[in-house]
Amino acid sequence: MSSVVELSVVVPTFNEQPNVQALVARLEQCLRGVRWEVIFVDDDSPDGTAAAVRTLAQADARVRLVHRIHRRGLSSACIEGMLASTAPFVAVMDADLQHDERLLPQMLSTLRAEDLEIVVGSRHVEGGSIGDWGSERELASRFATRLSGLVLKADLKDPMSGFFLLRRALIDEVVHDLSAIGFKILLDIFVTAGRPLRFRELPYEFRLRHAGDSKLDNVVAWQYIAMLLDKSVGRYVPVRFIAFASIGGLGVFVHMAVLWLVFRGLEETFIVGQTVATLVAMTFNFFLNNWFTYRDRRLRGWGLLRGWVSFTLACSLGAVANVGIATYLFNVSPTGGPWWVLSATAGIIVGAVWNYAVTSVYTWNQPKAVTAGR
């Protein structure tokens, strides 16, 4: 029998060390008769997931590892796992045993028999269920599913699923245009294809997490909104810029609050109040952008200090450009009318674009980001 791989199972991991061995054992059990491999894509988990996978790989050549450094993200991990595979069929599933691996053979045979492009493990078709979810999580999931209707044309009952199997041709078709933001890689694939896909949903029961904790948090929810934006207005404006500019808008409120406190409250001079307010607002913006806009390349430790310095310098130049351009435009425009507002707006736009462009290169660049195959 040829040893060529037919099915690659891509498994994104972050702190899943206690689960990987059990998952491989279960794949081994249920995929008899299929020439499979499993590709773990680990974002340098502090709990030593990558080392655990390497140990398994020493005993079984079907186990592979993509180890990413200075990177985070479920969707982007799945994409890199798919690209590390050369098999004609690729499945994606979680490492925590919540997805029922026993569905895989049926997913593969259905895809082949019905000449489909993608088969989705679904909790929301007859026979499927979400298992023991808290009502809060259930509500959030239902709301997210409803929101997906803004960008999704297909009648997919479980677009939030992270469990699916697809053909290589479909990956090749969409891979250059995926948003790759956040958790919802399946939705990303469907929307990016932009045409009706031949798909089918097969029911399974969502199980309880085996060991460890869920990585789904508030930031993931915001990233979902970011992905929806990217899939709609992202053609015209980069969604990172939208996030950056919105945070800048919040910074204005922080600035005013601090100015009020220092200038009016503490009765310092205006220049002192203005200086303190500017520094506080910049610092506030820096941390918020680091936490959200650049979550996937978040700076830590000393990198934070270096990042803060470069961010402050860049934004100071941005402020000079803002004031300079606005003043110039105001001076050359006719007197009266709305010109003062338009001049100020032009200054703000130039300043914001400058700040965004410069900090994306000098503050949140990733000189050390590497990915390595097995």
CB 244 within 8 A of CB 211: no
Stretch that binds ligand GDD, among 12-20, 106-114, 311-319, 334-342 (CB under 6 A): 12-20
Q: Site residues for ligand GDD, window 26-65 (CB under 6 A)? A: 41-43
DSSP state of 118: E
Q: How far from 325 is each of 316, 344, 348, CA to CA, in Å?
A: 14, 8, 9
Stretch that binds Mn ion, among 5-13, 97-105, 123-131, 333-341 (CB under 5 A): 97-105
Q: Which residue is nearest to ligand GDD (CB)?
A: 162
77 binds ligand GDD (CB under 6 A): yes
The nearer residue to ligand GDD, 66 or 277, going by C-beta atoms, is 66
101 binds Mn ion (CB under 5 A): no
Minimum distance between the CB of residue 184 and ligand GDD, rounded to whole angstroms? Answer: 6
Overall residue count recorded for the chain in this entry: 374
> Using CB under 6 A, which of 90, 95, 107, 329 touches ligand GDD?
95
116 binds ligand GDD (CB under 6 A): no
Minimum distance between the CB of residue 171 and ligand GDD, rounded to whole angstroms? Answer: 18
Element (H, E) at 371: strand 370-372
Minimum distance between the CB of residue 204 and ligand GDD, rounded to whole angstroms? Answer: 10
Task: List the single partner that 161 binds among Mn ion, ligand GDD, none, CB under 5 to 8 Å by kind.
Answer: ligand GDD
The nearer residue to Mn ion, 211 or 369, going by C-beta atoms, is 211
98 binds ligand GDD (CB under 6 A): yes
Strand order across the 164-167 sheet: 199-203, 118-122, 164-167, 89-92, 7-13, 36-42, 63-69, 370-372
Task: List the single partner that 80 binds among Mn ion, ligand GDD, none, CB under 5 to 8 Å by kind.
Answer: none
Structure tokens belonging to residue 195: 């045409």
Tally Cβ neighbours within 10 Å of residue 125.
Answer: 16
Task: List the single partner that 89 binds among Mn ion, ligand GDD, none, CB under 5 to 8 Å by kind.
Answer: none
Minimum distance between the CB of residue 106 and ligand GDD, rounded to whole angstroms? Answer: 17
161 binds Mn ion (CB under 5 A): no
**HEC-encoded secondary structure of 263-313:** HHHCCCCHHHHHHHHHHHHHHHHHHHHHHHHCHHHCCCCHHHHHHHHHHHH
Tell me how far apart the alpha carbons of residues 82 and 179 are, in angstroms, rounded to a whole number. Answer: 15
Of the candidates 1, 3, 79, 4, the one whose C-alpha atom is nearest the C-alpha of residue 39 is 79
Tell me how far apart the alpha carbons of residues 46 and 302 are, in angstroms, rounded to a whole number. Answer: 18
Tell me how far apart the alpha carbons of residues 166 and 16 are, in angstroms, rounded to a whole number. Answer: 24
> Using CB under 5 A, which of 16, 96, 101, 188 touches Mn ion?
96
Q: Which residues bind ligand GDD (CB under 6 A)?
A: 12-14, 16, 41-43, 72-74, 77, 94-96, 98, 160-163, 183, 214-216
Q: Which residues bind Mn ion (CB under 5 A)?
A: 94, 96, 98
